[in-house]
Amino acid sequence: MHEAIEADGLVKTYPKGVQALRGLTFRVEGGTIFGLLGPNGAGKTTTVKILTTLTQPDEGRATVAGIDVAAQPDRVRRTIGVVSQGSGVDIQATGRENLRLQGHLYDLRGAELEQRVSRLLERFGLADAADRIARGYSGGMQRRLDIAMALVHDPQVLFLDEPTTGLDPEMRADMWREISRLAAEQHKTVLLTTHYLEEADQLASRLAIVDRGQVVAEGTPEALKRELRGDAVHVELDNASKVNGNLDDSVGRLDGVRDITVEGRQLRARADDGGRAVPALLQALEATGIAVASVRVARPSLDDVYLRYTGRTFDAAEAEAAEVAR
Amino acid sequence: MTLVRQTLYMTGRHLRELWRQPWFVGVTLVQPVIWLLLFGALFKRVIEIPGFHAHSYIAFLAPGVVVMTAMFNSAWSGMALIEDLNRGVTARFLVSPVRREALIAGRLVKEAVVVVIQSVIIVALALLVGASFPGGVAGVAVLFAVSALLGAMFGGLSNGFALIMRQEEALIGAVQFIVLPLTFLSSTFLAANLMPHWIQSVANFNPVNWAVEAGRAATSSSPDWGLVASRAGFLVLLLGACLVFATRAFKSYQRSV
């Protein structure tokens, strides 16, 4: 029995010299939702483009439903449904026309196609808007149409590249429900990329954290969080200017406090027992002459997991990616 | 069979899109009419030049305007493709099993349909203002056919450029660079024997001139069918080459994504 998706040592460098993937590897079991989590620019979209046959890797190998994507792209295309980042809707056509043409691409015709189209329009709440030009659809409606189009030929494996970007929270929750149903009720394998930590936490049964073109951690969200022993301690410093790496001698020596990082005014650390570590931590900071604005102790989040494996917070990585894009 | 069906689905999409833009349809249909009447009036007396064997300039000009219109419109075909690239529509097609040939051919068939509709209007108007086409219905049908071939050929070229350049500004530049020179390096406006020698030589290699020569010959009183067949043959070959070029250009696009 083969895995639904296998990516093995994918390397991709774009003509301008941007190295998008540097040996990316992961496996997805059939019938599950797998999340690729990472900031913008981490290589998630490039991975999806390779797995969906839109582009080819420079090195490495990938299979979808056991079919090699480079050797038999046409067979892979019949097996997969793709919702790409942004949208693929033809905004000059109606919702129904979009779905119908998409069906035609997979050799679906006649009464069977019409039936599928109507069912999908119904299911995604587009029945009333079915014969309106998609240009007039809201962002959420276009997104739902995108997903309906990806399902018209009942694919085994579904790729969703940032499916909820640009949606408001309410629409996002609706979309999450729909995506969960795809795996739970229809036994589809879903590869989801996202840069929303909570989205990966909510939807994915397993996830891979991607940073700079590589998988840096993989597992169930729970296991990844569990791996971080103890609690996360977040301290907001009042005058960060005095922090000059001299923390090693003070905070660094405390028992049961590890993984200390400072980013701007945020100090983060891990402690076996967060509540008990706080007084000693505050004392140590005070002794160094650093004032504290607030302290928070929390169970580990995916953000902490990310920090642990990449040495940066997710927000800092996003900001960095935005910087590069500029 | 699949290829034909997929091509027609794509053609259907493009024609529907066109039909939903009545202003665009209107302008597209009126423009050649203006050319025919404007150039017809402007150059009316050139037939008085010794050696210009024609009794009506409009009748001489009409096949030229039909061909010129076919090129002018189809050369912009790639603009719509760039819009599809930008909107993610093409990427969606490329990850489906649809044949790349169908994605291009669908656009070219649409261009050919538009060319024929425009041509009917131009010829009807020319007849209305007194021109006559002694070659009859068969001759006019051949004129439409070579114009459709030329339109599809330029459509293929334009779509290939679109996939390689992927920028509207670049495509506009390329089209403008090509279209007018090709028009004036042909016998569209002036009898070939009155053109400077070097232009006559260049025109032999100009597909616009092939279409004008074939169309004009077919609509004349004593058609030289050998010439018509050879020019139409050249156009078919060139269309084939452009189709291959445009289909291959998808690879260039896919390398960039």
Residues of A in contact with B17 (CB under 8 A): 92-93
Report chain B's C-alpha Rg in angstroms.
Answer: 19
pLDDT of residue B240: 97
- Mean pLDDT over A14-41 rounds to 92
Q: Which helix (H) or strand (E) holds B83?
A: helix B77-87
- Residue B257, min C-alpha distance to chain A (Å): 7
If one counts every other C-beta atom within 10 angstroms of the C-beta of residue A252, the result is 14
Contact A79, A65 (CB under 8 A): yes
Rounded to whole angstroms, the Cα distance separating A213 from A322 reads 16
pLDDT computed for residue A286 by the predictor: 84
pLDDT at A312: 83
Closest alpha carbon to B219 in B135, B125, B126: B135
Inter-chain contact A55–B255, Cβ cutoff 8 Å? yes
pLDDT digits (tens, 9 = 90+) for B112-137: 999 999 999 999 999 999 999 999 99
User: How does pLDDT run along chain B (257 residues), one tens digit per residue?
Assistant: 899 999 999 999 999 999 999 898 899 888 899 999 999 999 999 999 999 988 899 999 999 999 999 999 999 999 999 999 999 999 999 999 999 999 999 999 999 999 999 999 999 999 999 999 999 999 999 999 999 999 999 999 999 999 999 999 999 999 999 999 999 999 999 999 999 999 999 999 999 999 999 999 999 999 999 999 999 999 999 999 999 999 999 999 998 88
Cα–Cα dist B16/B252, whole Å: 29
Q: Say if residue A31's pLDDT is above 80.
A: yes
| Contact criterion met (CB below 8 Å) for A255 and A213 | no
Instruction: Give how far the C-alpha of residue B232 lies from the chain's centroid of Cα atoms, to the nearest Å.
Output: 13
- What's the CA gap between A102 and A113, in Å, rounded? 10
Q: Enter the tokens of residue B150.
A: 């030329």
CA atoms of A196 and A226, how far apart (whole Å): 20
Integer Cα distance of B243 and B235 in angstroms: 12
Give the torsion sign (CA, A120, A122, A125, A128): positive
pLDDT at A237: 86
B84, B96, B164, best to mutate vs chain A, most A CBs in 10 Å: B96
Contact call for A133 and B20, based on CB within 8 A:
yes
**Which of B95, B101, B164, B251 has the highest number of chain A CBs within 10 A, making it the mutation to test binding with A?**
B95
Distance CA B245, CA B156 (A): 8
- In contact, B67 and B211? CB cutoff 8 Å: yes
pLDDT of residue A274: 83
First to last CA, chain B: 30
Q: Choose the closest CB to B20 out of A82, A92, A101.
A: A92
- Looking at residues A124-135, what average pLDDT do you find? 97
Alpha carbon distances (Å) from A89 to A85, A135, A144, A264: 12, 9, 10, 42
Chain B, 13-42: which have a CB under 8 Å from a chain A CB? 13, 16-17, 20
Distance, in angstroms, between A208 CA and closest chain B CA? Answer: 23
Mean pLDDT of chain A: 90
Task: Kindly tell me if the per-residue pLDDT of A1 is higher than 60.
Answer: no
Structural tokens at position A39: 């900031």
Closest by CA position to A174, among listed A99, A121, A222, A123? A123
Give the nearest chain B residue to A87 (CA atoms).
Answer: B88
Q: Does A239 have pLDDT greater than 80?
A: no
Please report which confidence band the pLDDT of residue A246 belongs to, taking 50, 70 and 90 as the band edges. low
pLDDT of residue A324: 67
Q: What is the mean pLDDT of residues A39-64?
A: 95
Q: Angle B207-218/B225-256 helices, nearest 10 degrees?
A: 150
Q: What is the dihedral of CA A312, A316, A320, A321, to 10 degrees?
A: 90
Q: Do B6 and A104 touch (CB under 8 A)?
A: yes
Tell me the chain A residues in contact with residue B257 when contact means C-beta distances shorter than 8 Å: 49, 54-55
- Residue A241 pLDDT: 59
> Kind of pairing, strands A266-271 and A19-28?
unpaired
Total residues found in chain A within this entry: 326
pLDDT of residue A325: 63
Locus of tokens 């092939």: B210
Alpha carbon of A245 to those of A236, A310, B61: distances in Å?
16, 19, 84
> Which of B2, B20, B92 has its CB closest to that of A84?
B92
Half-sphere exposure of B84 (CA within 13 A, CB side): 25
Answer yes or no: are the C-beta atoms of A279 and A303 closer than 8 Å.
Answer: no
Quick one: pLDDT band at residue A77, thresholds 50, 70, 90?
very high
Stretch A60-65: mean pLDDT, rounded? 97
pLDDT category of residue A69 using cuts at 50, 70 and 90: very high
Q: Which residues of A touch B (CB under 8 A)?
A: 15, 49, 52-56, 74, 77-78, 80, 82, 84, 86-93, 97, 101-102, 104-107, 133, 149
Residue for token digits 């073109």?
A: A213
* Pair type for strands A189-194 and A157-161: parallel
Q: What is the pLDDT of residues A265-278, one digit of tens each?
A: 888 888 888 888 88
pLDDT of residue A322: 76
- Asked if B96 reaches chain A (Cβ–Cβ under 8 Å), the answer is yes
pLDDT for position B141: 98
Q: What is the pLDDT of residue A103?
A: 98
Strand A5-13 versus strand A59-64 pairing type: antiparallel
Phi, psi of A89 (to 5 degrees): -70, 140
Q: How is residue B113 written in tokens?
A: 């349909």
pLDDT tens digit sequence for A191-212 = 999 988 889 999 999 999 999 9
In sequence order, what are the residues at sequence separation of 6 or more whose Cβ sits closer than 8 angstroms to the Cβ of residue A35? A192, A193, A194, A199, A200, A203, A204, A206, A207, A208
A218 Cβ contact partners less than 8 Å away, ≥ 6 residues apart:
A26, A206, A207, A208, A209
B124 CB-near residues (< 8 Å, 6+ apart): none
Q: Do A149 and B92 touch (CB under 8 A)?
A: yes
